[in-house]
Structure formats: structure tokens, C-alpha cells
């Protein structure tokens, strides 16, 4: 018999805020966190802007030694995890530790460490490589460090599915609870990939917007003049609990995570399947697993990357599943304000979706100025909208043809 899974804690680190409230306030106001890159000299780069996390201090969450021994992607994850646990008033104890797990994914892992250590290798030789290089770089270390710092001894691993990573982590964590392998899971995604090699590589792919003169207007999902995505960074973590145990301890329940769908396009290394066929199947699986009828859905937090291929195919996928109801749905993209946080995107957007339901406000898709005939849904353009959202989806699509969809329902006993 499947158990119900609820969300009781949220944690966020994003380009518009280093916690949940500051992030939400910025998103609700339609404020962009995208600006010229400050981390390194971009003079020779074709793209010179991104959504950087600002004024973040890892020592608020890790002692000085631990902070030095971990890559920034781990710092972000630890911060979001601590926030989620504090928000839920949840403590890992000796009594419950074996039933509390951690699944936190990252698309690329410790890219800052990799960049720095290659420089050391070439300039100073192999003897100068850090003994912590491997543990700072590998993608599973966010989940590992969160487990060590909190004492959680249940299921522990990382998901890696490019831009679907965070959503897959949350979906798989929910399955652990649903089928009795854990009672609580710390789940999400983290990324800190705004580095010289990443910016050069994504620009070379022709994947990034090149609006260097107006970076805050560069990410424009579903707009006819979109010209690519914007790199972002950050982390999102949800605390998931089995419904009955959450109720017994008097936890505040944000929403129920009712359904989860994951599929593969089996089509192309970067382009979505024609018509968004893979995403459409993932949406259908999520609805079925949550016993949700299509017409019950009020809102979709879209993957909405601001690329021509993604936005058109995601719109087509929504129409495939929902038919005429697609035109009654509100659809918006968080990426319009924070950029594409890659492995963290699905988790950050899941948290925003839950907050949308909790606070009765749909955050907008900013920079939507020129309607595209291929993208003709209600994208909540430019201004937030009050709405009573009972059922919402969070869509994620990743390079490699990965699709993950989370279905949230307003909680009722």
C-alpha cells in the first residue's frame, strides 16, 4: 500500500536571494538576478553575464575547515538543506537517523575545483594537486556531506540527469518514502558551474543568449525573440516526509507530492523529441501516479529555458496532454529571473511551485514582450498573479533526453 508524501521544509540559494523568503520576494516582484559576471574576467568571452549567487557565506553553514575542503556546489547544498530542516523544525536523531535519507543531485559537480586543479597541474606540476581534489569534485559529495553533517543514515545518493537532476532527486526521494524505505528525505539539486570553461563551452554550442548589453532582459522564455538560455547557479532542497508521521509531530505541511513521472526521449543529445513527446509522456505518468485528472491542474512551473527548441516543444507537450484545458492553465518560467541553474533547476522550481500553492501567487515570466505563434499559452507575462492553485506541476527536461515531472496537490487530510 503506497504511503502519502508531503513537503514540510524548503531551502533555497539562488541568484535573487540566499534563502526562501528573499528569493520569493524577488520572484514575486519580477526582479531579475542576471547581471555581468563578477567571478572572472570575461573580456574575451562572447557571453559575459549570468545569474550568479551573491554575497553568500558558506561559513554560516559549515565551519572554516569544512568549507575549505568542499566545492561551492556542496556549500549551496548544505545551506539549502539546513534551511529546509530548520523550516520543518525537523531534527535527525539517533532514533530516526536510519529512516532519514538524502538524495541531492548535481549536473556537473565540482566544476570550480576541476578548473582550479587543472591550473595547478599545468603551472605547478602533479605534486601540488590537492589531496581533496577527488572528494571536492565528484557529484555525489553534496549528498554525502549533507548526510555527514546532519547524521542522516538512510538512503543516500546523487542523481545526475543534466537539467532534470533536481526533479529526479525529489521524485526518487518521494518513492523511497512512498514504498517504505524511508520516513523522511532531504532531497534536491545543487549547481555552481559559472566558470570559464562552462561559459566558453555553452557559448560554443550556441546555447546561450548573447544580450550582453541588457543581461536582465536576456532570459525571455516563450518570447518570439528569445535567443538562448542564461547560465545560473544555486540550490534547492525540500524536506519530504511520510504524511502520518509529519502530522503526528505537528509539522506544517506545504503540499502533498502526489505524483512523479520520468521518461527518456531516446532522440537527440540536446534537442527535445519532436512535439515534446517525451515530456508529454512524463506529464501523463506523473498525473496517473498521483491519480490526478488533467482538468484538475491549475498551474505549471515550466522548464522554460528561453531557447527556441525547448519552449516550442514544451508548449506542444502541454497541449498534447491537456488539450483545450491547456489554454486554461497558468504557465510560468522561474528561469526568466534566475537563469538556468542546470542540476539545481528542477529543485528550485519545485520549491517555487510549492510556495505558489502556499501563498496564492503565481510568479511571472518576465521579459515576455513578443508573442510567438508556436507558444500561445498563458505564460503569466511580466507581473505576478493572485490565484488559488490546487494542483500544480513542475516540468524538467535535460540534455540527453531526460524528462522529469513532479505533481503537487494542496494537502488535505
Within a domain: 255: no
Question: Domain boundary at 248, 277, 311, which?
Answer: 248
Within a domain: 333: yes
The mean pLDDT of 152-174, rounded to a whole number, is 98
Tell me how far apart the alpha carbons of residues 197 and 114 are, in angstroms, rounded to a whole number. 10
pLDDT digits (tens, 9 = 90+) for 343-375: 999 999 999 999 999 999 999 999 999 999 999
For the chain, how far is it from start to end, CA to CA, in angstroms? 17
235 plus 305 within the same structural domain: no
Within a domain: 28: yes
The mean pLDDT of 405-410, rounded to a whole number, is 98
171 plus 315 within the same structural domain: no
pLDDT digits (tens, 9 = 90+) for 304-336: 999 999 999 999 999 999 999 999 999 999 999
* pLDDT score recorded for residue 318: 98
pLDDT digits (tens, 9 = 90+) for 160-170: 999 999 999 99
205 plus 236 within the same structural domain: yes
136 plus 172 within the same structural domain: yes
Within a domain: 67: yes
Number of compact structural domains in the chain: 2
Q: Please, are residues 299 and 330 in contact by the beta-carbon 8 Å criterion?
A: yes
Task: Report the half-sphere exposure of 343 (CA within 13 A, side-chain side).
Answer: 30
Compute how many other C-beta atoms are within 10 angstroms of the C-beta atom of residue 29.
14
Instruction: Give SS3 for 152.
Output: coil
Tell me how far apart the alpha carbons of residues 319 and 321 are, in angstroms, rounded to a whole number. 6
285 plus 221 within the same structural domain: no
At 190, which CATH number? Answer: 3.40.47.10
What H or E segment, with its residue span, contains residue 255? strand 255-264
Question: Domain boundary at 214, 248, 282, which?
Answer: 248
Domain that holds residue 101: 5-248
Within a domain: 253: no
Q: How confident is the model at residue 171 (pLDDT cuts 50, 70, 90)?
A: very high
What percentage of the chain carries pLDDT values higher than 70? Answer: 100
Is 1 a residue whose pLDDT tops 80?
Answer: no
182 plus 266 within the same structural domain: no
Instruction: Give SS3 for 345.
Output: helix
Nearest to 7 by CA among 341, 318, 236, 336: 236
Set 75, 112, 192, 303: catalytic member:
303
Q: List, in sequence order, the alpha helices (H) in 151-265.
A: 165-178, 196-204, 243-248
Q: Is 192 a catalytic residue?
A: no
What are the cell numbers at 57? 557565506
Set 192, 340, 375, 402: catalytic member:
340
Question: Domain boundary at 248, 273, 292, which?
Answer: 248
Residue 395 phi, psi (nearest 5): -95, 145
161 plus 306 within the same structural domain: no
pLDDT digits (tens, 9 = 90+) for 22-79: 999 999 999 999 999 999 999 999 999 999 999 999 999 999 999 999 999 999 999 9
Set 163, 192, 375, 402: catalytic member:
163
Task: Report the half-sphere exposure of 383 (CA within 13 A, side-chain side).
Answer: 2
The mean pLDDT of 217-223, rounded to a whole number, is 98
Within a domain: 218: yes
50 plus 138 within the same structural domain: yes
75 plus 205 within the same structural domain: yes
pLDDT digits (tens, 9 = 90+) for 95-105: 999 999 999 99
What are the cell numbers at 315? 508548449
Within a domain: 36: yes
β-strand partners of 385: 362
The mean pLDDT of 4-8, rounded to a whole number, is 98
Residue 141 phi, psi (nearest 5): -70, -25
Is 413 a residue whose pLDDT tops 90?
Answer: no
Within a domain: 312: yes
Tell me how far apart the alpha carbons of residues 138 and 161 are, in angstroms, rounded to a whole number. 15
Q: What burial class does residue 227 get, using C-beta atoms within 10 Å of its C-beta: 0-12 exposed, 13-18 middle, 19+ buried? A: middle
236 plus 379 within the same structural domain: no
What are the cell numbers at 332? 510560468
222 plus 157 within the same structural domain: yes
- The pTM score is 0.97
What percentage of the chain carries pLDDT values higher than 90? Answer: 99
Tell me how far apart the alpha carbons of residues 240 and 255 are, in angstroms, rounded to a whole number. 10
376 plus 355 within the same structural domain: yes
Q: Is 375 a catalytic residue?
A: no
Amino acid at each position: 500500500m503506497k504511503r502519502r508524501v508531503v513537503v514540510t521544509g524548503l531551502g533555497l540559494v539562488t541568484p535573487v536571494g540566499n534563502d526562501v523568503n528573499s528569493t520569493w520576494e524577488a520572484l514575486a516582484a519580477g526582479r531579475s538576478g542576471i547581471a555581468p559576471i563578477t567571478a572572472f574576467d570575461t573580456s574575451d568571452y562572447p557571453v559575459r553575464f549570468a545569474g550568479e549567487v551573491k554575497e553568500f557565506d558558506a561559513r554560516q553553514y559549515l565551519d572554516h575547515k569544512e568549507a575549505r575542503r568542499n566545492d561551492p556546489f556542496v556549500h549551496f547544498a548544505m545551506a539549502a538543506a539546513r534551511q529546509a530542516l530548520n523550516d520543518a523544525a525537523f531534527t535527525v536523531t539517533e532514533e530516526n537517523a536510519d529512516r532519514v535519507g538524502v538524495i541531492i543531485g548535481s549536473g556537473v559537480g565540482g566544476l570550480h575545483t576541476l578548473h582550479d586543479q587543472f591550473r595547478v597541474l599545468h603551472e605547478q606540476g602533479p605534486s601540488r594537486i590537492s589531496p581533496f581534489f577527488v572528494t571536492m569534485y565528484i557529484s555525489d559529495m553534496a549528498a554525502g556531506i549533507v548526510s555527514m553533517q546532519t547524521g542522516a543514515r538512510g538512503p543516500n545518493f546523487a542523481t545526475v540527469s543534466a537539467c532534470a537532476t533536481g526533479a529526479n532527486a525529489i521524485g526518487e526521494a518521494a518513492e523511497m518514502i512512498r514504498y517504505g524505505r524511508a520516513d523522511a528525505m532531504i532531497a534536491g539539486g545543487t549547481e555552481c558551474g559559472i566558470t570559464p570553461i562552462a561559459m566558453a563551452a555553452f557559448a560554443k554550442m550556441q546555447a546561450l543568449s548573447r544580450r550582453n548589453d541588457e543581461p536582465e532582459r536576456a532570459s525571455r522564455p516563450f518570447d518570439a525573440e528569445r535567443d538562448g538560455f542564461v547560465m545560473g547557479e544555486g540550490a534547492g532542497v525540500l524536506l519530504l516526509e511520510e504524511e502520518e508521521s509529519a502530522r503526528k509531530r505537528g509539522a506544517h505541511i506545504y503540499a502533498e507530492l502526489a505524483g512523479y513521472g520520468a521518461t527518456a526521449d531516446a532522440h537527440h543529445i540536446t534537442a527535445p523529441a519532436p512535439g515534446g513527446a517525451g515530456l508529454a509522456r512524463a506529464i501523463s505518468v506523473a498525473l496517473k501516479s498521483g491519480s490526478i485528472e488533467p482538468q484538475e491542474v491549475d498551474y505549471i512551473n515550466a522548464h522554460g529555458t528561453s531557447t527556441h527548441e525547448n519552449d516550442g516543444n514544451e508548449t506542444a507537450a502541454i497541449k498534447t496532454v491537456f488539450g483545450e484545458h491547456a489554454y486554461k492553465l497558468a504557465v510560468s518560467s522561474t528561469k526568466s529571473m534566475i537563469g538556468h541553474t542546470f542540476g539545481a533547476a528542477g529543485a528550485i522550481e519545485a520549491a517555487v511551485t510549492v510556495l505558489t500553492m502556499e501563498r496564492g501567487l503565481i510568479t511571472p515570466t518576465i521579459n515576455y514582450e513578443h508573442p510567438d505563434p508556436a507558444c500561445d499559452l498563458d505564460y503569466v507575462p511580466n507581473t505576478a498573479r493572485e490565484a488559488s492553485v490546487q494542483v500544480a506541476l513542475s516540468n524538467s527536461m535535460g540534455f540527453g533526453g531526460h524528462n522529469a515531472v513532479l505533481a503537487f496537490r494542496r494537502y488535505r487530510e
